[in-house]
Each structure stands twice: as C-alpha cells, then as structure tokens.
Amino acid sequence: MSRIFLIITFSALLPAQTPKPPVVKFGIPVKEGPMDSLRLKDYTPESSLVVPDTRLAKPRFPAIDVHSHSSMSGIKTPADVDAWVKTMDEVGIEVSVVFTEATGPDFDRQADLFLKKYPKRFQVWCGIDTKDIEAPDYPQRAAKELERCYRKGARGAGELTDKGWGLQSNEKNALPRNKRLHIDDPRLDLFWQKSAELKLPVNIHIADHPSNWKALGPNQERSPDFQGFNLFGKDVSSYEELLLTRDRMLAKHPKTTFIFCHLSNIGNNTAALAKTLDHYPNLYLDIAARDYEIGRQPHTARAFLNRYRNRVMFGTDMGREKSMYEGWWRLLETADEYIPGRIWWPYYGLQLGDETLKSLYRETALKLLNFQ
Ligand SMILES: [Zn+2]
C-alpha cells in the first residue's frame, strides 16, 4: 500500500512530459541518433571538401602589424626579439607595433629590449597608470607618465581595455560600478589631450565580442573555446553602454587619433560600424583577432575594407607563429573556400585587390602612426 502511494506521489512530482519540438535545419527536421550524446567541445568534423589550399609565405606588399603584445609573444630576452625579427623577415612583416602594457621601469626595460637593436622594426607603445584614480593628482600623474614614456621611446598608448569592469580592470580587481574609470571619464581628458599633443595614437579595446553578453547555452553564438570570456549576468556595463562611452570620448577629443582594435568589437555589423566611422573622423580600426568576423562574411567585409581602406589597419594579436601570419595572407588575399578557422566557423578568402591591400597592410599605418 505504502509503495503504491509512494509511486503515485512521485509521479505527481514529475513535470508533465511535453515533447520537444524537433530541430529543423534548412527546412529538414534533424533525426535523433548516436551523436546526440557527443560533447559540443569534442565535435571536430573533418572536411571532405576538395578545394584549393593556397599557401602564401609572404603578403603581396610589406605589412605593418599594428597589434602585437610582448607578453603574448613570450618576449623576455634579446634572443626572443632576434627570433621574432627572423620570423618577421620570413613572413613579410616590416614593423611590429608592440603593446608593452607597461609604464615606469618595466616600460623602460621593454623599450630598451626592442629599440636598442631594432629601432626600425618595432614600435613600442606604453600602457596607462591606473593606480589611485581617485587621488586629485591622478589626471596630471597619468599624463606626465605618458610624456615620460614618450621621451623613452613610446610611440603610442595601448592596448587600453574596458570590457565593462573599468579601464585596465577585470572581475578580480574591479571597483564598485559607480567608481569605475571608463574612457569618457573627465579624469582621462588630460591623458587624451597629451596623446594628441605628442602625436601618439591610442589603441583601445572597448566592450568585447557581443556574444559575450548573451547567455551560455544552446543559442550562444561562439563555441565553448570562448566561454571563459562570457560576461552574461556579470556586474559589468552593457555592450551598448560601452560603445556609447567610445562615441562620447571620440566627440570630446577630435584631435586625438583613436584606433579601436578588433573592428571596435562590432565587426559583426559593418553597417553600424560604417556609420560610426562616417560620424567620427578621428576613429580608426584594426582587424586584429577578428579573422572570424571578416572570414565568415567575405563579400560584406571586402566591400567594407574597400570603402574604409584609409581607416582600417592590419594587426594580428595572436602571438608570433609563422603559420599564424601565413593564415592571414591566405584569408585576405586568396579566394580559398572553407578555410579552417579558430572557432568552428570556416572562413572564406576575401581576395582583396592591390589598392586595399596596400592601404590595409602599410599605407594607412605610415600616415597615422608616429614614426619620428
Ligand atoms: Zn590585443
């Protein structure tokens, strides 16, 4: 008796079985089968497609890489720098812009490491002082340190990052929401003014890929490789609000040259990006680490880069492996299809023309960066 009672109670607790609607793709319902239990991150399909695989050792024109990091490239010793220059020669990189993300003695050490032996092959950029931002002397202190780094060889400031935790901050060290330093904060006005005065461009990472503000789960756009970057439900500004800090800052500092890296994290919507470029003439972009944005919309990306060739620059942001550079040449120059990408999206070559390649690789950087 009690057993029957238990069964009845138990089944009453179970949710009503509503059959899941079948997943329909391209008009065809997907059938169940042995692959249903496969983990998403283990799914690494092998392509049977027989298509050209063009290997390009060098770009069609010498290239300036406007986005690299000493830390990410594992540069510690002069031998590391020698090895990087050797790779740069092999892959056709004329100059690399190195973000040291440092100020003070660490910046000075890194400036010496790169510039003593290779003043023509590297530009070394400094970071920004973000200590004690509430102290009354903060604006002057940050601007003064920028000028000091400039005298030591800095030719720009960057990469300065605000993903919603405040400038150069992250989840672990973020201040309370109302205390955070965002790029349109008046406390940074002097720093942006000093950058303009010294002709130092600034590279800024604003927000992040928009999918980071969407929940992890069945509808998340990017693969599990990127889940560590997800910001959904976290104590950060919204994606839209961060882009507004960009616009307010651009409007307030028309004389400063701002390079928003990763296509300003809105490479998924080139129409919106075009509008912003038309509105703010001091806004420039790099394509670093957005191989997956341009590679999955080759026609749109080609039209965009053709139109804004004087506003967009080539950059990598992915270390210094030879195959990484070669991947970029293939993506930008060839008509190859279904190129294996970093996420599971395959890429399609953009087949850019000579004029756009020249501007993207070199000419825009030569005009914009400080080579004095
Ligand atoms: Zn970067």
* Residue-level pLDDT at 338: 97
Distance between Cα 317 and ligand 1 center (Å) = 5
Distance between Cα 34 and ligand 1 center (Å) = 41
* Residue-level pLDDT at 258: 98
What is the rounded distance in angstroms from the CA atom of residue 68 to the CA atom of residue 124?
10
- Residue-wise pLDDT for 104-121, tens only, equals 999 999 999 999 999 999
**Ranges of each domain in the chain:** 59-368
Distance between Cα 75 and ligand 1 center (Å) = 15
* Residue-level pLDDT at 72: 85
Question: Mean pLDDT throughout 321-335?
Answer: 98
* Residue-level pLDDT at 8: 45
Distance between Cα 178 and ligand 1 center (Å) = 26
Distance between Cα 340 and ligand 1 center (Å) = 22
Residue 339 pLDDT > 70: yes
> Given pLDDT bands bounded at 50, 70 and 90, which one contains residue 326?
very high
Distance between Cα 48 and ligand 1 center (Å) = 34
What is the rounded distance in angstroms from the CA atom of residue 65 to the CA atom of residue 325?
10
* Residue-level pLDDT at 21: 81
pTM assigned to the model: 0.93
Distance between Cα 29 and ligand 1 center (Å) = 42
> Given pLDDT bands bounded at 50, 70 and 90, which one contains residue 51?
very high
Q: What is the mean pLDDT of the chain?
A: 94
What is the rounded distance in angstroms from the CA atom of residue 100 to the CA atom of residue 108?
10
Q: What is the CATH T-level fold of the domain 59-368, as seen in this structure?
A: TIM Barrel (3.20.20)
> Given pLDDT bands bounded at 50, 70 and 90, which one contains residue 255?
very high
> Given pLDDT bands bounded at 50, 70 and 90, which one contains residue 17?
low
Distance between Cα 27 and ligand 1 center (Å) = 41
Task: From 156, 166, 159, 167, select the one nearest 194 (Cα to Cα).
Answer: 156
* Residue-level pLDDT at 297: 98
Residue 45 pLDDT > 60: yes
Distance between Cα 329 and ligand 1 center (Å) = 19
